[in-house]
Chain A
Amino acid sequence: MGAVGSGTWGVGRALALAFALSASALAAAPLTPQQEAQARQIAVNIRCPICTGVPITESTNDISREMLRGVREQVAAGRSARDVYAYFSARYGNFVLLDPPKEGSNLLLWGAPLAALGGGGAVLWLFLRRKQGAVAPTVAGEQTADEPFDPFLAQVRRDTGQSEGKS
């Protein structure tokens, strides 16, 4: 397994190098714990541009490391989440924004569930409000939530012409 083995360690070396680079880059910008949390919160919503659906915090490739470093620098410089998102979308397109801003065509996205909620709620309300027959409240004990339902038993009762009766 010599060939496979060398492949293993070869890429291991590349990964190790990438890690060493990013470690030194991270060391360059010390952040307070609050800033650290803020940077993380922003970074989980920025997508790695060359991966499939993974935020830069979950990716180990160079471009993600670089972008993560950019986020940390901007947070250190006191820029807001909005500024950071604007910065990255200007460079890589809206594609990298995993938390789509509520503007432009994205309003369709954010509005659709709300429309479904409102529309569905209205339909349900009208349906339940429709003409109510004289349905008396179910008297406790007569047909309570505890009565078992058995279609077979109901059928037997229908067939024998007997109404509700408990053994």
Chain B
Amino acid sequence: MLNLISFSSSPMGALGQLALLAALAFTLAGAWLAVLGGVRADARATEAARRSTWAVFALVSLAALVLMTALLRDDFSVRYVAEHSMRSSPTWVKITSLWGALEGSVLLWAWLLAGFTFILSLTLRRDSLRPWALAAMFASLLFFVGVCATVASPFTPVATLLADGRGPNPALQNHWMMAVHPVLLYLGFVGLSVPFAYAVAALVTGRLSDHWVTVTRRWTLVAWVFLTAAIVAGGWWSYETLGWGGYWAWDPVENASFIPWLLTTAFLHSVQIQERRGLMRSWNVWLIVLAYASTVLGTFLNRSGIVQSVHAFAGGPVGPVFLGFLAFLLVAGIGLAAWRAPQLRDDGDPPSALSREGAFLAGNWLFVVFAVMVLVGTLFPTFIEAVQGRRDASVGPAFYNAFAIPLGLGLMLMMGVGPLLPWRRADGQTFWRALRPLLIVGVGAAALAFVLGVRSAGVLATVALAAYNVLGLALLTGRALKQRREGRQSGGFLALVREQPRRYGAYTAHIGLAVLALGLAFSGAYRGDAQASLNVGAAPKALLHEQVQLISLRQEDKPYGSSAIARVLIDGRAFEARLNTFRQAPGTFFPAPAVRYGALTDTYLVLTSIDPGGKWVSVRLIESPLVSWIWWGTLIVCLGAGLTLVSPRQMQARRVPSGLAPATD
């Protein structure tokens, strides 16, 4: 059995461990009380469960604080600190070490989950869904706090006290983005547990409260923004540190974060059909349950090592535990959905094909197919290994791109159609009149790109669809402004946005996606890549550049490692590319490419080898067009999505005729 507590050897460790065990006790009690409150409709039990979440949050916070303190104080009596930190690391690395390895990241996860549960406990309304939403949150908490307090506890005592720790994973120390990407990703993953809890509550009680849609939509949107930012931040990390000039490799773990994104994006659209028309109720619950299950699947893949991935950490005992939780979720969650979802009946007739509902559903179809494709591609090698007993299959970018490009283009097509269509049912001729100019402009843009030398069909289609989307949104906005002027309403575009933040937030996010798509298409199709050996002083040509000159090669030592720094002039502009090596992994090199970001082209220089005498270096020079559009496009998407969260109530209350204004507002 695990030796969990040892007061004498590690006071900090014992404190953290006790906090986790107490949190586990409150979680168990809270789960029981919540179920009791739901089954017996006992308001006191529900209230007690609600308050248990406060204790859980406080105790897990204490545990996280203890671990952070131990990391910052180099307290190597705590196992996690001894195994994943060291004295010489810079402070920011010590802080990020909290989630740099398995136990700490499970603790961070549990802490965020406890925090979200705490917020939920303050915002839940007093209705029949409340106990069951709490019970579902407790079920997730039970797993994460349970794992954290037992099999993956960061606080188990060490046998012999070390003078210095073993240090963090050097790949995570190589770039500051590692401080950001995992936290964003966890915020996204954990954020989905709240809509999941509401979905479970709806399934158990067989009803949806009035605000079900509003609450699930908002929480999902928040999680979606974090997820979007996290995925792209991960891509940027890859671009800045892995030295191959790319940002997405269809790696299993990247895929695992992308599947929930696809499903939540589908949900954010189809839930609006429920909001407006009272339709698609059971489908929406299904989407939430599957999205949450896919986050757990992603974590399982990340942590168990059953897929080959650059991200997969060593397995340890948590693989089977995660598999158990995943199996529980799939059986309980999907079973519950299969059994109860048909009871969540829709109010009216199914939507017609030519309507905004129809466009959203067609988009949903493509999103789900996309998710299935990524899932199948990710799990196929493991499946073959299980059947044939050996690793005999690989699935690379060729497979994913074969589907992702047409599916992505289809989604862009639907993205442009959706805003043009009215709810309920469109008149075919009116719709065609609205669509025609967009198609003409799209074809025109593609023709222009062709004349300018673009020959790739995928890129041409992306250009056409981006132009068609942007023009469509511009025309709709222009029409709204015109109506506004005719109605003699004051204010221009900003007033419009202030009154309808959801609409213009969505438009903004769509424009961001068009920018992002252009970045993906161009950087994917037109990448220049050259290798060269540079001697000090000589200046050969490489790629589009007249002169690539090595100025100097020097070594810089830091307490935590050393870097070889090559100073290279490319057409007169200085680049400093590094090869870093860290104390905890001597002899392993981590490239830090020098990247000069441009609006149209990035120039990317990475060292591949260096001369011991300091006379020459081998470099790889990569020129990718429009890469920065990906980062800027994502920023626009996130800002737009954030804008849709601005409460329409505050913004539109003054549109209510004065006699109808509620007294309380």
Contacts and interface: CB of A to CB of B under 8 A. Distances in A.
Interface of A: 1, 3-5, 7-13, 15-16, 18-19, 23, 44-45, 47, 52-53, 55, 58, 60, 93-100, 105-106, 108-110, 112-113, 116-117, 120-121, 124, 127-133, 135-140, 143-146, 148-153, 156-157, 160, 162, 165-167
Given A12-B612, A108-B380, A136-B425, A113 B373 contact: yes
Contact of B376 (A15, A52, A113): A113
B369 interface: yes
A138 B587 contact: no
Given A132-B352, A146-B480, A148-B499, A153 B564 contact: no
B168 to A, nearest CB: 16
Nearest to B612: A9
Contacts of A109: 376-377, 380, 393, 395, 399
Contact of A128 (B214, B351, B426, B480): B351
A143 B424 contact: yes
Contacts of A5: 555, 557, 562
Contacts of B5: none
B476 to A, nearest CB: 7
A48 B98 CA distance: 33
B249 interface: yes
Contacts of B656: 153, 156, 167
A152 B393 contact: no
B581 A167 contact: no
B73 interface: no
Contacts of B249: 53
Given A7-B581, A135-B352, A152-B648, 7 more contacts: A8-B587, A93-B390, A120-B365, A130-B350, A138-B423, A138-B425, A156-B662
B284 to A, nearest CB: 14
Contacts of B427: 137-140
B612 A146 contact: no
B47 interface: no
A116 B392 contact: no
Contacts of A156: 656, 660, 662
B495 interface: no
Contacts of B649: 150, 152
A7 to B, nearest CB: 4
A93 B365 CA distance: 36
A164 to B, nearest CB: 12
Interface of B: 214, 244, 249, 251-252, 275-276, 308-310, 312, 348-353, 355-356, 358, 361-362, 365, 368-369, 372-373, 376-377, 380, 384, 387, 390-399, 403, 419-427, 430, 476, 479-480, 483, 499-500, 502-503, 533, 555, 557, 561-562, 564, 579, 581, 583, 586-587, 589, 608-612, 618, 648-649, 652-653, 655-657, 660, 662
A138 B422 contact: yes
Contacts, number: 216
A5 B581 CA distance: 9
Given A16-B618, A124-B365, A112 B561 contact: no
A112 B380 CA distance: 10
Given A52-B309, A149-B502, A12 B657 contact: no
Given A116-B369, A124-B361, A145-B422, A162 B660 contact: yes
A16 B422 contact: no
A99 B399 contact: yes
A133 B424 CA distance: 11
A16 B398 contact: no
A39 B432 CA distance: 47
Given A120-B365, A152-B648, A105 B393 contact: yes
10 contacts: A19-B608, A45-B398, A98-B396, A98-B397, A100-B394, A110-B399, A129-B353, A130-B349, A135-B349, A138-B427
Contacts of B660: 156-157, 160, 162
A146 B483 contact: yes
Contacts of A3: 586
Contacts of A60: 608-609
**Which of B349, B399, B423: most chain A CB closer than 10 A?**
B399
B395 A100 contact: yes
Contacts of A95: 391-394
A165 B587 contact: no
Contact of A4 (B309, B586, B618): B586
Contact of A16 (B365, B403, B421, B612): B612
B648 A8 contact: no
Nearest to A140: B430
A8 B555 contact: yes
A15 B353 contact: no
A167 B589 contact: no
A132 B349 CA distance: 6
A131 B533 contact: no
A99 B365 contact: no
